[in-house]
Amino acid sequence: MSKSDPHHAVAIHPATVPQRTLYTGATMPAVGLGTFGSDHVTAAQVAEAVLGAAAVGYRHFDCASVYGNEPEVGASLQAILRNGIKRQELWITSKLWNDKHAEGDVIASCRKSLDDLRLDYLDLYLVHWPFPNFHPPHCDVTSRSPDARPYIHENYMKTWRKMEELVDMGLVRHIGTSNMTIPKLKLVLRDARIKPAVNEMELHPHFQQPQLFKFVVDNGLQPIGYCPIGSPGRPERDRTPEDTAPTDDPVILKIAEDHQITPVAVCIKWAVQRGQTPIPFSIHHYRENLECVTTDPLTDAEMRAIAAIDRNCRLIKGQVFLWKDGQTWEALWDMNGEITPP
Ligand SMILES: NC(=O)c1ccc[n+]([C@@H]2O[C@H](COP(=O)([O-])OP(=O)(O)OC[C@H]3O[C@@H](n4cnc5c(N)ncnc54)[C@H](OP(=O)(O)O)[C@@H]3O)[C@@H](O)[C@H]2O)c1
């Protein structure tokens, strides 16, 4: 039998995977498979992982046009559907890339992702970053677009109106934000006709973003957590000497030893029990990353111990999106609670 046969090797029954309920009442599996190959995993390898992951019980896939592999992932999704998994059992996310924020580009860009993914609709479509700043793939962190712009709320809302139109058109079930801050989200929540259903953000034990996490949850959005295990395979351009690895933390190592599981499993269990939806990328370990959330939960004391190891260590700093000379990456993240002025 092939790996994609849903009746074969369903290692983890999808019904045993925790679910999140969005404000629309829709449910989303609380663990998804990331699909960003980080410059060194090929589109074919990611597509193979998508196929294998569906066979072991994944139903949630986090895609994006900028990952450069939606056509290959789409071929896998088509095979998964042909093999008997129903479309409504899947949760498929894609994202609008930064060079497609213009009003005339949003719907066309979504249609392109739908064509590539071979789907009639997306469960979730995100504005990938709040900045319309394009940079070439694989560029260095010092690369800057001469046309780079700061966050301009009026412009973001023009993009958002088109995102809302996608929902009206039935092409997308939910829309959401990514890489946002509290002051930016406050404005979007004030002005949106269709409010974001999720905010996708970096979340792992060394970067817990407690204030943003609380704001997101308090406003009825689901937090989706990227880099849930600290993105050990991230590109060189996203590494700095100050970065730390949550999977090396003594608290995580001790809990892993006590449960006889890996430090990665501790990070994923913590994420799900805290209330976010982690989307670990993996081509080799995806089965264990899903299985770990179905058994042997962390204790309250362990959850508290992990809450105490936050280091405010942001790994994906976004330097390439800066719009002015002499800025540091902190300008992207509204560190003093207000949107950084232009
Ligand atoms: N919205 C955004 O702006 C944004 C930004 C970044 C990422 N994302 C999304 O989030 C996803 C996850 O983030 P990420 O890929 O940067 O980081 P990640 O999921 O924290 O880490 C992925 C890396 O961890 C390894 N790994 C996974 N499970 C493992 C295990 N059980 N044991 C040992 N190693 C393991 C993988 O290697 P193997 O393949 O060898 O298992 C891979 O190198 C992305 O793929 C993407 O879909 C979104």
> Is the CB of 228 within 6 Å of ligand 1?
yes
Output the pLDDT for position 38: 87
> Is the CB of 291 within 6 Å of ligand 1?
no
What's the gap in Å between 333 CA and the centre of ligand 1? 22
> Is the CB of 179 within 6 Å of ligand 1?
yes
Output the pLDDT for position 9: 53
Q: Which of 70, 261, 277, 281 to mutate to test the pocket of ligand 1 (most atoms within 8 A of CB)?
A: 281
What's the gap in Å between 282 CA and the centre of ligand 1? 6
Output the pLDDT for position 7: 40
Q: How confident is the model at residue 284 (pLDDT cuts 50, 70, 90)?
A: very high
Q: What percent of the chain has pLDDT over 90?
A: 88
- 169-198: pLDDT as tens digits: 999 999 999 999 999 999 999 999 999 999
Output the pLDDT for position 8: 47
> Is the CB of 276 within 6 Å of ligand 1?
no
Output the pLDDT for position 147: 82
The residue with tokens 């992990």 is: 306
Average pLDDT over residues 150-169: 98
Which residue in the list 58, 67, 156, 286 is annotated as catalytic?
A: 67
Instruction: Write down the mean pLDDT value for the chain.
Output: 95
Does the pLDDT of residue 132 top 90, yes or no? yes
Average pLDDT over residues 241-254: 97
Return the ligand 1 atom nearest residue 283 CA.
39
Output the pLDDT for position 232: 95
Q: How confident is the model at residue 140 (pLDDT cuts 50, 70, 90)?
A: confident
Output the pLDDT for position 279: 98
Q: Is 226 a catalytic residue?
A: no
Does the pLDDT of residue 136 top 90, yes or no? no
Output the pLDDT for position 3: 45
Least confident of 98-112, 153-167, 225-239: 225-239
Nearest CA to ligand 1 atom 26: 282
Output the pLDDT for position 135: 76
Output the pLDDT for position 2: 45
Does the pLDDT of residue 1 top 90, yes or no? no
Output the pLDDT for position 6: 43
Return the ligand 1 atom nearest residue 284 CA.
41
> Is the CB of 235 within 6 Å of ligand 1?
no
> Is the CB of 279 within 6 Å of ligand 1?
yes
> Is the CB of 40 within 6 Å of ligand 1?
no
Does the pLDDT of residue 207 top 70, yes or no? yes
Does the pLDDT of residue 10 top 60, yes or no? no
Average pLDDT over residues 78-88: 97
Higher pLDDT, 140 or 20: 20
Return the ligand 1 atom nearest residue 41 CA.
39
